[in-house]
Amino acid sequence: MDFDDGAADQLIAACDKAAGALRGQRGPRASVTGEALAEFRGPFADLFRRNVSAQSAARTTLINALEDVAQQVRFAKSQAEQARQDLKEQQARNLWKMLEEGIVAAGADYLRDLIPGLSTPGELSESEVRRPEVSVPPLVLEPHNWAAGGAAETSSAVPDALTKAASSISDQADAADPVCQDVVRALARFQEACTWAVTDVGSFAPAASQYNQDDRDDAGKLSQIGQAFSAAGQGDLTRAVELSSTALALAVSPGQVRGEALLKFLETATPVDLAVASTNPGLLTHLAAISPERIAEWWAGLQASGGAANGFTAQQLVLLESAPKVFGSLDGVPATARVHANSLAAIEDIAAAEAELAKLREIGSDDSEARRAMLEKEIDYLKRVEAGQVQLYLYNRDESRIIEMIGVPGPDTQRTVTYVPGTFTSPKSFYDDSVQTFSDYLVRTVPGTVAFVYKDGLFPGENQKEGGEDLRRLLEANDPQLGYDAGRQLAGFHEGMRTDPVLQGTEQIGIGHSWGYQNLTSSEIHGVDYDKSISLSGAGMHEEWEPDKDTRYSNFVYESDALLWAQKTGQVWDGKVPSDHESFTNHEYTVPNEGSFWPDSTPLEDHSLPTTDSADNKQLLEDVVREVLK
């Protein structure tokens, strides 16, 4: 029978220390939570008050369990000591009796088998003494809840008081967790080293873990609430601040306000409400879950709020200017409104790019030279966006998402062009103005045209960090799944863009260069209808693509184009390419000096030539314009 006094002492000490630590937290916890609740009003205040009470009860439950375990182990230890003493006495009596009977001469081996404890001092027989028990009853802790249903109109709190309470609760969790874990480890060692005692202590570890997790959750939620009130207080953190309960819910738990309830809130939200609500990225997630058609209908309904300026009503301006990142990327919001929002959001993006650039300059590493150059171009580009010289329909610098609008939608708009550039396109391609040339030419040449230069996500061969080429990713241009998924993304863009009252009735023209045409035709698989579909040396079509009988398909390419050679030799898209498909009207051109010993261009340059406005490309451009105008 095993009973290790050292393991028992270790468990007693761990329990005493943990119980003492938890007891010592009672006073400070009551003080900071009391201060926080003094002027905390609203549904989240009610939840916090209940959680404070639940955690206080849970602390008492744990302390009682720790004290009870320590007491049981002390008793078990005394029982073990008494058992050892009793068995020693019994052993002496048995030995004396044997000596009297003259058995000693039989030898030590026989005695070891016959006399308990003679050869193993300290080992006790389970049958000799009643085994002590060390157990922890099921510890049921009241669950915490931060779901604030039926929110009141306003909430209020002193931001500093909430922040102080959150910090204190977090610190107490940091202090309580290790001492509770010491108890868990000591319990495991006790069970292993003291098998003579009957133990049932499995309920302590999950209860202690839940207690500490509840503390961390409460601290995190209270910190979020404090930050929301801090934003609403605009720097005054020591007095009670009032805030819409819905805005607070959006900042803390955006999932609680969705759908029509979210739209209704936004109809009257103040700049302060929006500043608070938009601190949580979940706001955009739940707005994006609403169909673009409903967003467009709701946005148009805001016209009733009156007070128009710059083409927007007072409430529309509140939304655009208070949460530009949200409304600058929300499908269903008209193009001009998104452009206005993104011109405001550019300020934040410029600051982020400048901060990163400053760090790289401080490091001064040659490895970061390309990244520094890209950031410099990004900053210059975004300053043009901020000044209104460039119109961004979408911009997310971290996810390589950028859609630039060329032209101004209005009552005279007759056609909308979606232009998708090709392989290797990166945000830097936009910063350099290298992918806008073709669309800019069309808008200038064909009156009544608005064009979107589209890049939503990583393109094949793109080096996102430095803006150059990543040849390791070149084969992605022939990946059917990548093209299929890109087409779905493009279809989402069209669903949102075509809700714009100015654009929805216009002729829709899709133009794609190289892999961009694969992206474009894949969007047809996902339901996009184009009146005209124009390939500029387009790469190919997904196997699921079928031509639309109401769409005019045409392909413009140079005979010396490197990709055309790959297409004619069956190396890309399994031969399902514009130059060989019966639905396309093909236009092939020769470049100056083609076929000579010293040609003016290379096959790779000829592949990009259709997208330029150079004199060598004049005939192709004129033919495309005629196609657009048909």
Model pLDDT for residues 162-218, shown as the tens digit of each residue = 999 999 999 999 999 999 999 999 999 999 999 989 999 999 999 999 999 999 999
Is residue 594 over pLDDT 70? no
Number of C-beta neighbours around residue 334 at 10 A: 22
| Half-sphere CA count of 26, side-chain side, radius 13 A | 13
Structural element, H or E, at residue 31: helix 26-38
> Domain ranges in the chain?
5-142+153-233, 253-386, 399-630
The one-letter amino acid code at 184 reads: V
* Cα-trace Rg, the chain: 37
Q: What is the pLDDT of residues 458-499, one digit of tens each?
A: 999 898 888 878 888 878 888 899 999 999 999 999 999 999
What pLDDT, on a 0 to 100 scale, did the predictor assign at position 544? 96
CB 278 within 8 A of CB 320: no
DSSP class of residue 294 equals H
Share of the chain above pLDDT 90, in %: 73
φ, ψ (nearest 5 deg) of residue 292: -55, -35
By C-alpha distance, which of 527, 535, 529 is closest to 507? 529
Vertex 386 angle, CA 457 and 294, to 5°: 55
DSSP class of residue 493 equals H
Residue recorded with tokens 């005939």:
619
- Name the residue with higher pLDDT: 241 or 83: 241
What pLDDT, on a 0 to 100 scale, did the predictor assign at position 118? 46
Measured distance CA(118)–CA(112) in Å, rounded = 6
Q: What is the pLDDT of residues 85-127, one digit of tens each?
A: 876 766 656 655 665 565 555 555 555 555 554 444 444 454 4
CB 471 within 8 A of CB 461: yes
What pLDDT, on a 0 to 100 scale, did the predictor assign at position 598? 54
- Averaged pLDDT, 503-530: 97
What pLDDT, on a 0 to 100 scale, did the predictor assign at position 122? 41
Beta strands 241-244 and 401-406 are unpaired
What pLDDT, on a 0 to 100 scale, did the predictor assign at position 285? 85
Measured distance CA(301)–CA(306) in Å, rounded = 10
Measured distance CA(59)–CA(19) in Å, rounded = 9
Going by pLDDT thresholds of 50, 70 and 90, the confidence category of residue 407 is very high
Measured distance CA(367)–CA(365) in Å, rounded = 5
* Helices within 101-203 (DSSP H only): 108-114, 159-193
φ, ψ (nearest 5 deg) of residue 323: -135, 60
- Averaged pLDDT, 392-414: 96
SS3 assignment for 414-478: CEEEEEECCCCCCHHHHHCCCCCHHHHHHHHHCCCEEEEEEEECCCCCECCCCCCECHHHHHHHH
CB 116 within 8 A of CB 128: yes
Report the mean per-residue pLDDT for the chain.
Answer: 90
- Name the CA dihedral angle for 7, 9, 14, 19, rounded to a multiple of 10 degrees: 140
- Name the CA dihedral angle for 554, 556, 562, 568, rounded to a multiple of 10 degrees: 40
Is residue 373 over pLDDT 70? yes
- Averaged pLDDT, 499-525: 97
Measured distance CA(362)–CA(387) in Å, rounded = 29
SS3 assignment for 372-388: HHHHHHHHHHHHHHHCC
By C-alpha distance, which of 604, 605, 578, 585 is closest to 521? 578
Structural element, H or E, at residue 552: strand 552-558
- In the CATH scheme, what is the homologous superfamily, with its name and number, of domain 399-630? Alpha/Beta hydrolase fold, catalytic domain (3.40.50.1820)
Report the residue count for the chain. 630
Is residue 132 over pLDDT 60? yes
Is residue 37 over pLDDT 80? yes
DSSP class of residue 203 equals T
By C-alpha distance, which of 490, 517, 541, 508 is closest to 610? 517
DSSP class of residue 154 equals E
- Averaged pLDDT, 345-362: 95
CB 191 within 8 A of CB 7: no
55-75: b (≥16 Cβ within 10 Å) or e:
beebbebbbebbebbbebbee
Number of C-beta neighbours around residue 546 at 10 A: 12
Beta strands 133-135 and 198-200 are parallel
Beta bridge partners of 508: 416
What pLDDT, on a 0 to 100 scale, did the predictor assign at position 138? 93
Full-model pTM: 0.80
Tokens read off for 286? 């739940």
SS3 assignment for 70-118: HHHHHHHHHHHHHHHHHHHHHHHHHHHHHHHCCCHHHCHHHHHHHCCCC
Residue recorded with tokens 């550039």:
421
Contacts of 298 (CB under 8 A, 6+ apart): 263, 267, 332
Residue recorded with tokens 């400048």:
354
Q: What is the pLDDT of residues 223-269, one digit of tens each?
A: 999 999 998 887 777 899 999 999 998 888 877 788 999 999 999 99
Measured distance CA(87)–CA(116) in Å, rounded = 8
Q: What is the pLDDT of residues 289-334, one digit of tens each?
A: 999 999 999 999 997 666 666 789 999 999 999 999 999 999 999 9
Residue recorded with tokens 């990163």:
356
What pLDDT, on a 0 to 100 scale, did the predictor assign at position 31? 96
Is residue 439 over pLDDT 50? yes
Distances (CA, A) of 441 to 294, 437, 474, 530: 34, 6, 28, 20
Is residue 64 over pLDDT 50? yes
Contacts of 216 (CB under 8 A, 6+ apart): 170, 173
Measured distance CA(78)–CA(94) in Å, rounded = 24
